[in-house]
Structures are given as C-alpha cells and as structure tokens.
Amino acid sequence: MLQKDGFFRNRRDESFRQNQPIAPAPVAANTAPTPSSTETETKADRKESKLVVGHDIKIKGVEISDCDTLVVEGRVEATLDSRVLEIAEHGVFQGTIAVDQAEIRGRFEGEITVRKQLIVHSSGKVSGKIRYAKIKMEEGAEIAGDLAVLDKSATSIGVGKRVANA
C-alpha cells in the first residue's frame, strides 16, 4: 500500500508544489530552436515494440495495435494487426490476424492473413480462414480450413475447404 506522499500523490496537493517561483531561462537572440526528440527520431531509430504473453497468461476480447512483434506463450483471444506473430509450442491464439510474418509452433484458430511468409513448425496447428503470400510447413504440421494464396493483384486463388497434414 502506498503512502499519501508515495508514487500516486495528488499533483494539486500544495505540499507537492514547490513554493519557489521558477524563472524562465534566458534565450539567446540568434539561436535556433532545437528540434524535439520526436522530430529527430527516424523510423530506423525507433525501438521495436514487442508484447510477450507469458505461459500462464490469458487475454480475451482485446484489439492489439501498434505492436511490432507479438509472442504468444499463453492464450490470446483477440484481433491483431502487426508485423510479426510468434506462437510458442504451448501458445494458443484465437481471433483475426493480419501480419507480415507468422511463425507458429503452437495453435492458431480463426482468420489469418500473412502478407509475406507463414511458417508452421512440426508442432503447429492452424485452422480457419488462411491467407498467405508464401507458406513453409515442416513435416507434422497441421493446416485445416479455407486456404488461399494472396496475389499481388489483390485476387486470391481459393482452394476451398481442405485439410492438409504435412
């Protein structure tokens, strides 16, 4: 339990404010304003945002956005638009996904669109509506559902309801 003057103290509390007035810093006449850190930060310098859902964690009913990499070791029921999805061997993802790359060692159920490459390892199971640009499957991987290859001209080749075991 936090005390009154702990981390979550009320900023309007008079004891929090300093009684001394703060004078503005003098500004030189010919100096240009310095750019803020957000202006100078380029996309290459930006840190990758990564969310790891641990082994015993369950997340349900969320929309995950602004996440570069999602690692699922527990159970997630959500909607995701990201760059990379990794489902660990005991991880489960149920929902709708649009990603650049997906690497599945666990289980996925729902609708998945992979803009670049879908990799299903030997322990992986994917079921539902599956759209991909490229697919790589190890022996023992399971894929079931409506499979289609994403075409660059926005038309996809439907395979229909199929079940495949590598």
Q: What is the tens place of the pLDDT at every residue in 86-135? A: 999 999 999 999 999 999 999 999 999 999 999 999 999 999 999 999 99
Bridge partners, residue 15, by sequence: none
The pLDDT of residue 1 is above 60: no
Q: Give me the mean pLDDT over the 24-49 stretch.
A: 53
pTM of the model: 0.65
Asked if 119 contacts 103 with a C-beta cutoff of 8 angstroms, the reply is yes
The pLDDT of residue 17 is above 70: no
Nearest of 74, 72, 66 to residue 85 by alpha carbon = 72
**Residue 104: predicted pLDDT:** 97
- For 112-120, the CB contacts below 8 A with 24+ separation are 113/150, 114/150, 115/150, 120/166
Higher pLDDT, 138 or 1: 138
Q: Give me the mean pLDDT over the 60-69 stretch.
A: 90
